[in-house]
Amino acid sequence: MGSPTLTPATARRTGVVTGLGVVAPTGTSTADHWDAVLAGRSGIREITRFDASVYPVRHAGTIPEFESRTRVPDRLVPQTDRWTHFGLAAAEEALADADVDPAGLPEYEMAVVTASSSGGVEFGQREMESLYQHGPSWVSVYQSIAWFYAATTGQISIRHGMRGTCGVLCGEQAGGLDAIGQGRRLLRQGTRLVVTGGTDASLGPYGLVSQLRSGCVSTVDDPETAYLPFDRLPHGHLPGEGGAMVVVETEESASARGAGRGYGTVLGYAAGFDQSTTTGRPPVLARVIRQALDDARLDPSDVDVVFADAAGEHRRDRVESAALAEVLGPGAVPVTAPKTLTGRLLAGGAALDVATALLSLRDQVIPPTHGPIRLSPDHEIDLVQDEPREVPLRHALVVARGYAGFTGALVLGRGDRTR
Amino acid sequence: MSRFDLDELRQIMRASAGVDEGVDLAGDIGDLEFGDLGYDSLAVLELVSQVQRTHGIVIPDEAVEEMPTPNRAVEYINRLAMEGKAS
Amino acid sequence: MSRRAVITGVGVVAPGGGDREAFWSLLVAGRSATRRISLFDPSGFRSQVGAEVDFDGRASGLTSQEVRRLDRAAQFALVATREALADSGVFDGPPPGSVDPARVGVSIGSAVGNTMRLEEEYMVLSDDGRRWLVDHTYGVPHLYEYMVPSTFAAEVAREVTAEGPCTLVSTGCTSGLDAVGHGAQLIAEGSADVVVAGATDAPLSPITAACFDAIKATTARNDDPEHASRPFDRDRAGFVLGEGAAVLVLEEARAARERGAHVYADLVGFASRSNAYHMTGLRRDGREMAEAIRVALDQARLNPTDVDYVNAHGSGTKQNDRHETAAFKRSLGEHAYRVPVSSIKSMVGHSLGAIGAIEVAACALALDRQVVPPTANLRGRDPECDLDYVPLVAREHRMDAVLSVGSGFGGFQSAMLLARPGRVPVDAGSG
């Protein structure tokens, strides 16, 4: 205890992922999600939580089967936004999957770090409606704890008695990697276990309309062809809701509990920021990937699969494929984008990709990228399409890029957990 | 306003603040402390705020301290409503 | 080789004055900048008092497009960033001698992000709340940038051409302290050589005011706005919502020394703990905040008696003031009764996530100038708060190490230790 927080990175410790929790359009549990991903079952559906026919986007990665009442303690349902419901449910599954009883571990050595992008936007819209329709005294007491971006971390910390260094990082769609990277940092500083990841639920009317203004959302009405990353003529992406939480522990903690090397280890992480294209400065992604590999003490040839960011916009796709080709070699490593089944989940997207990548390492199979993508010759990548590909997998690289320039890369190593 | 009763309070509690596991709101809860029923200070503030809205009465800040249990809350709210009518 | 972050530039946008020096003058004078809210019509609200910044984006050097594009909090952040950069001179060296953008990071804190713009645009899109199905045809071009708080970090990153790790830290009311702590960590671990760190919030809008009205956390003393923020006073009645930003330039100590930079303070310890108790409630004993203080002291290899000043969270709610008084006694022992403790929220209000960074800026200036800012409006102590809260008048005081703490919704408790340059051995933080 009392290990310094402001430490150099010399104390090299990797984090072992011992538990996964998923709430995604592809399934409300890790097992359901993985089955759907391997089977290529899409979670893109017509939005039914409200009448979206008035908007230029009617389809999204939604989770209509998620029932807050059965997955979240009754008292917390009216106090929290849907995004926090997802976070609580995913954290609970991850802890159960890791077979952790937080009550039996030192309280200050457990931490919660989540990513958020849009906070409790649906809850907030409802309360603003009360405010402007009726007056200040109609605003719910719970608005003060449901809307702000720290709500999910706070609620998970309280629910599981985790009193260590808790945090919330917002790096738009790269935030999920930043949160897991921060989790690993904490493991080097006296924390033994971190619940980390990200969720988002920005598919209420105000959240959806805000996303439309990012200029990146596809307005193609056919859900099968709306989001086609790396295609010759991509149209943008479809939004989605959900995310994932993972339990990451120090090697000592995992082995002391008999969890071995779990699903795998977080070996390397790096982050950077792209300046605007008008500055003429080159994108940072290739450098960030190299830094993450250096951090993992791996060579490019050690990477066996890439879980791509897959923006679905030609220029951004091109930046990504060029960086992959530059660092790993043109077409040298299989690349996949299972988020074609869910849409882009904002803060939840990268976290879900990490969970999917760990499942891929466990089962030694690369899930395919979904949809009728005609790979553009501009992309010198080996895009896995149509069928899962069974190949030996030692290490996976997860890439995440967010609106405005946020960039992250995370390297995962294989664990010893079996299905 | 119509007389406020325990059943209406139960309904508001269920809708606005949920119910803790192991708590039977339909049971004999009238004289149990809100805290023991799993309702913290925020939950009580939310109940009060809902009652104000649905019954159009104004409950002063200090009043929360005078309603530690559901029965006391019902009593207080009815007294307030009567005074409101009288004035 | 141990690395440590030091503060070489300070930029502040705070109530009661435009820039760093105006802010410091306000603190030293013990003047309170709280007043009846003018940014919106507060009649109909329980709390009608705020600590507002008299801010004009154009007069502060922002362009027309910046003023149009950016939420008030983002405008604060940019103005504070420019002041901090000019103060530090870190990027003034001629290329190629200047800093590699890949080695520059950004860590900005905010509790509520672009709330003000989100609310204004919501009103238009919903036609004043009439339409649940908001009208997307009224969506302004930058609407998405208002939804995501990371916009603040992106704006600062573009301003300083940062290509290293950039993030927005959002841990409610400890966001500012946590963002500076995160920035210091990036430097200590070698992920960056320069980090532009700080926090910003502009929460003085109806929806946020209504939030705090609902839980009765803000003061209802509307009759005397200038004296409404009264931390540790027996007549306090809740906190006063404020706004503002502080941005610091953090550099690696050796590099800062080599280029001859003026160093305000060394960052020698930082820790945060959570109470896992309640989203808004605090236990009386202050144990998690005390634990954060203990760990921060441990990192700096300092004893409780080495702390020469405590910048308290001091929000002015009964619950907080008693909680942290207990935490100081628990972590500092008898020394808690001797060390000066003050709350600048008595003067600049509580700007949620921003205040933590503003308080770190105050600590850096206090160390630099060897003056303890007072707690304004403290006329009669709450009998349960029995420490030396430096009432009303600033105090010249010899300080080598100061402690700043924060406490916030979600149960987060953070503590940071700053020291006069070179006073705490640089190796202390390693190990």
C264-295 pLDDT, tens digit per residue, is 999 999 999 999 999 999 999 999 999 999 99
A243-254 pLDDT, tens digit per residue, is 999 999 999 999
Which contiguous run of DSSP H or E holds residue B52?
helix B41-55
**C108 backbone dihedrals φ, ψ, rounded to 5°:** -115, 135
- Residue-range definition of the domain harbouring residue C72: 5-114+149-429
- Given this model, what pLDDT does residue A352 score? 98
A301-320 pLDDT, tens digit per residue, is 999 999 999 999 999 999 99
What pLDDT band is residue A9 in, cutting at 50, 70 and 90? very low
Is A9 inside a domain boundary?
no
Is A349 inside a domain boundary?
yes
Subunits adjacent to chain C (3 or more Cβ pairs under 8 Å): A, B
Is residue C182 part of the annotated active site? The answer reads: no
The structural domains of chain B, with segments of one domain joined by +, span 6-86
What pLDDT band is residue C98 in, cutting at 50, 70 and 90? confident
* Chain C contacts in chain A segment 57-86 (CB below 8 A): 79
A72-120 pLDDT, tens digit per residue, is 999 999 999 999 999 999 999 999 999 999 999 999 999 999 999 999 9
Q: Domains in chain C: how many in total?
A: 1
Residues A185 and A320 in one domain: no
Partner-chain residue, chosen from C125, C212, C409, that has the shortest CB–CB distance to A150:
C409
Answer whether residue A270 shows pLDDT above 90: yes
Is C404 inside a domain boundary?
yes
Work out the minimum CA distance from C29 to partner chain A, whole angstroms.
Answer: 34
Residues A131 and A51 in one domain: yes
A172-192 pLDDT, tens digit per residue, is 999 999 999 999 999 999 999
Subunits adjacent to chain B (3 or more Cβ pairs under 8 Å): A, C
Nearest-CA neighbor of A226 among A370, A383, A51?
Answer: A370
Strand pairing partners for C50? C35, C241
- Given this model, what pLDDT does residue B10 score? 93
Interface test with B, best of A74, A126, A159 (most B CBs within 10 A): A74
What's the CA gap between C88 and A181, in Å, rounded? 30
- Residue-range definition of the domain harbouring residue A109: 15-256
Residues A178 and A294 in one domain: no
For residue A184, the number of C-alpha atoms closer than 13 Å in the C-beta half-sphere is 25
Answer whether residue C150 shows pLDDT above 60: yes
pLDDT, chain A, mean:
95
Interface test with B, best of C211, C212, C216 (most B CBs within 10 A): C216
CATH topology of domain B6-86: 1.10.1200
Q: What is the 3-state secondary structure (H, E, C) of chain A?
A: CCCCCCCCCCCCCCEEEEEEEEEECCECCHHHHHHHHHHCCCCEEECCCCCHHHCCCCEEECCCCCCHHHHCCHHHCCCCCHHHHHHHHHHHHHHHHHCCCHHHCCHHHEEEEEECCCCCHHHHHHHHHHHHHHCHHHCCCCHHHHCCCCHHHHHHHHHHCCCCCCEEEEECECHHHHHHHHHHHHHCCCCCEEEEEEEECCCCHHHHHHHHCCCCECCCCCCCCCCCCCECCCCCECEECEEEEEEEEEHHHHHHCCCCCCCEEEEEEEEEECCCHHHCCCCCHHHHHHHHHHHHCCCHHHCCEEECCCCCCHHHHHHHHHHHHHHHCCCCCEEECHHHHCCECCHHHHHHHHHHHHHHHHHCEECCECCCCCECCCCCCEECECCCEECCCCEEEEEEECHHHEEEEEEEEECCCCC
Is residue C335 part of the annotated active site? The answer reads: no
For the domain that residue C277 is a member of, what is the CATH number?
3.40.47.10
Residues A123 and A206 in one domain: yes
- Given this model, what pLDDT does residue A8 score? 43
**Minimum mean pLDDT among B22-31, C4-13, C69-78: which range?**
B22-31
Residues A216 and A302 in one domain: no
- Given this model, what pLDDT does residue B65 score? 86
- Given this model, what pLDDT does residue B54 score? 86
Mean pLDDT of C9-28: 96
Is residue C385 part of the annotated active site? The answer reads: no
CA angle A143, A144, A145 (to 5 degrees): 90
What pLDDT band is residue A419 in, cutting at 50, 70 and 90? confident
Subunits adjacent to chain A (3 or more Cβ pairs under 8 Å): B, C
- Please report where in the chains the tokens 């990490």 appear, as a residue: A354
- Contact state of A75 with B42 under an 8 Å Cβ cutoff: no
Residues A336 and A409 in one domain: yes
Interface test with B, best of C213, C215, C279 (most B CBs within 10 A): C215
The amino acid sitting at C294 is R
- Contact state of A271 with C164 under an 8 Å Cβ cutoff: yes
- pLDDT per residue rounded down to tens, chain B (87 residues): 578 999 999 999 998 888 888 889 999 999 999 999 999 989 999 999 999 988 888 898 888 888 999 999 999 999 988 887 655
Task: Classify strands A305-307 and C371-372 as parallel, antiparallel or unpaired.
Answer: unpaired
Partner-chain residue, chosen from C153, C298, C411, that has the shortest CB–CB distance to A158:
C411
Residues A126 and A23 in one domain: yes
Sequence-distant (6+) residues with CB within 8 A of C43 are none
Contact residues, chain C, for A400 at CB < 8 Å: none
